[in-house]
Amino acid sequence: MEKLEYDAVIAGCGVAGLYTALHLGADKRILMLSKGDLESCDSMLAQGGICVLLDEDDYDTYFEDTMRAGHYENRKESVDIMLRGSRAVIDELLALGVRFAKNPDGTLAYTREGAHSRARICYHKDITGKEITTALLAAVQKLPNVTIREYTAMTDILTEDGVCRGIKAQTADGEPFFVYAKDVVMATGGIGGLYEHSTNFPLLTGDACRIAERHGVALEHMDYVQIHPTCLFSEKPGRSFLISESARGEGAILLNHKWERFVDELQPRDVVTKAIHAEMEKEGVGHEYLSFEKIPEQTILEHFPNIYQRCLDEGYDLFKEPIPIVPAQHYFMGGVHVDSHSMTTMPHLYAVGETSCNGVHGKNRLASNSLLESLVFAKRAAAHIEQNEEESGS
């Protein structure tokens, strides 16, 4: 069996894994694994945007919005860390070439989504996740100390005396191999592949959670699963196409089969989802509708070009008619328990992104906090790994 040695191994090539790699020392030999191809990570699918703390006056409001959406089950320390670290993340993304929307004067343009008191979301059209992930991937691929292997999955971790010493992995051909590393970062994404209807890629099957449980590593809130209210209804099998919450933030409205509004579209996702399910049951139907009639055509073309085109491909013209929508599994707030440095309960084993549970989201995630949380806490994982190395003198 092949045995490799690296300073750090990162399982997952979404924004959390990539950002961790970017913030580790250039002297480290890093191996990154992608279970599928590099395009098949959920970070690529994020539409709405990434939140940022606007200014100090926005702190209390943003904090409360996050707490309220999470039913006040959020870990307050983690929420504070995320908010305080947000502006630095946005500045770093801009420096890497991320093309966030801007106003005519060159300042960042912000949009608003459900449960936000203010417009504080940076975005690039309706493909923000792809824009950010592509920029991060390009930066990582330039690093001479990072090796990326596609179609390679982490299947287990290697331990010695209760300490993580590396991982066991498997190639697309089913060939197993060992990777010995001082630090392991699990960034394998969520659990959507376990659901019949999900906005996630099918290969996201909670791998890190299963491995953690096998080794007695603490898990947290495994029942905290978010359903996105508005996914394009289709009879076709496969991944559900998400209609960004920022559409409702810009004025899209939910209608029943009598063309009546039945809910405040800007409430938290779980509240809107519950209202849609109740209306569907009341009417005895399999979907409801989302209308873009209150959004100017120019805004649709500039802000939601991908959604507009996908709906056209499915036979719906946003300019002329409402589109059928239905809720679908979207995001996992639970996962592998980590502290404020993204470290699990096993030494030298870290978890970042949707794989982890640092308590930021509580019971329900506030829109567009996922990309931000992933990046802030990935950066902290890298910093903690570097700090530990300095303290150990290695």
Whether the per-residue pLDDT at 393 is higher than 70: the answer is no
Structure tokens at 63: 């904090």
Nearest Cα to Cα of residue 35 among 149, 130, 133:
149
pLDDT digits (tens, 9 = 90+) for 15-52: 999 999 999 999 999 999 999 999 988 899 988 899 99
8 Å CB contact between 120 and 246: no
Q: Is 381 helix (H, G, I), strand (E, B) or coil?
A: helix
pLDDT digits (tens, 9 = 90+) for 206-222: 999 999 999 999 999 99
What is d(CA 343, CA 377) in angstroms, rounded to the nearest whole number? Answer: 10
Mean pLDDT of the 153-180 span = 97
CATH number at residue 99: 3.50.50.60
* Whether residue 278 sits in one domain with residue 141: no
Structure tokens at 176: 């197993």
Active site residue 84: no
Residues paired with residue 328 on neighbouring β-strands, in sequence order: 228
**What value does the mean pLDDT of the chain take?**
96
pLDDT of residue 64: 98
Number of domains in the chain: 2
* Whether residue 325 sits in one domain with residue 338: no
Residue 126 φ/ψ, nearest 5 degrees: -120, 30
* Whether residue 240 sits in one domain with residue 213: no
8 Å CB contact between 120 and 62: yes
Mean pLDDT of the 245-271 span = 94
Domain boundary among 278, 301, 329: 329
Nearest Cα to Cα of residue 242 among 275, 286, 234:
234
Q: Is 93 helix (H, G, I), strand (E, B) or coil?
A: helix
> What pLDDT band is residue 283 in, cutting at 50, 70 and 90?
very high
* Whether residue 346 sits in one domain with residue 322: no
Whether the per-residue pLDDT at 2 is higher than 70: the answer is yes
CATH number at residue 244: 3.90.700.10
Q: Whole-prediction pTM value?
A: 0.93
* Whether residue 107 sits in one domain with residue 95: yes
* Whether residue 245 sits in one domain with residue 100: no
DSSP 286: S
* Whether residue 189 sits in one domain with residue 41: yes
* Whether residue 252 sits in one domain with residue 219: no
Domain interval for residue 165: 2-223+333-392
Nearest Cα to Cα of residue 314 among 235, 224, 370:
235
8 Å CB contact between 267 and 253: no
pLDDT of residue 366: 94
pLDDT digits (tens, 9 = 90+) for 192-210: 999 988 999 999 999 999 9
Domain boundary among 329, 347, 373: 329
* Whether residue 118 sits in one domain with residue 22: yes
pLDDT of residue 236: 83
Side-chain-facing half-sphere of 55: CA atoms under 13 Å: 1
pLDDT of residue 394: 56
Whether the per-residue pLDDT at 312 is higher than 60: the answer is yes
* Whether residue 325 sits in one domain with residue 232: yes
Whether the per-residue pLDDT at 390 is higher than 80: the answer is no
8 Å CB contact between 269 and 249: no
pLDDT of residue 1: 82
Looking up tokens 């300490």 gives 163
pLDDT of residue 371: 97
* Whether residue 260 sits in one domain with residue 128: no
> What pLDDT band is residue 347 in, cutting at 50, 70 and 90?
very high
What is d(CA 261, CA 173) in angstroms, rounded to the nearest whole number? Answer: 52
Whether the per-residue pLDDT at 126 is higher than 80: the answer is yes
pLDDT of residue 392: 72
> What pLDDT band is residue 226 in, cutting at 50, 70 and 90?
very high
* Whether residue 307 sits in one domain with residue 169: no
Whether the per-residue pLDDT at 189 is higher than 90: the answer is yes
Mean pLDDT of the 165-179 span = 96
Q: Is 71 helix (H, G, I), strand (E, B) or coil?
A: coil
The percentage of the chain sitting over the pLDDT mark of 70, rounded to a whole number, equals: 99
What is d(CA 279, CA 287) in angstroms, rounded to the nearest whole number? Answer: 9
What is d(CA 385, CA 24) in angstroms, rounded to the nearest whole number? Answer: 8
Domain boundary among 311, 329, 347: 329
Q: Which of 112, 120, 248, 269 is catalytic?
A: 269
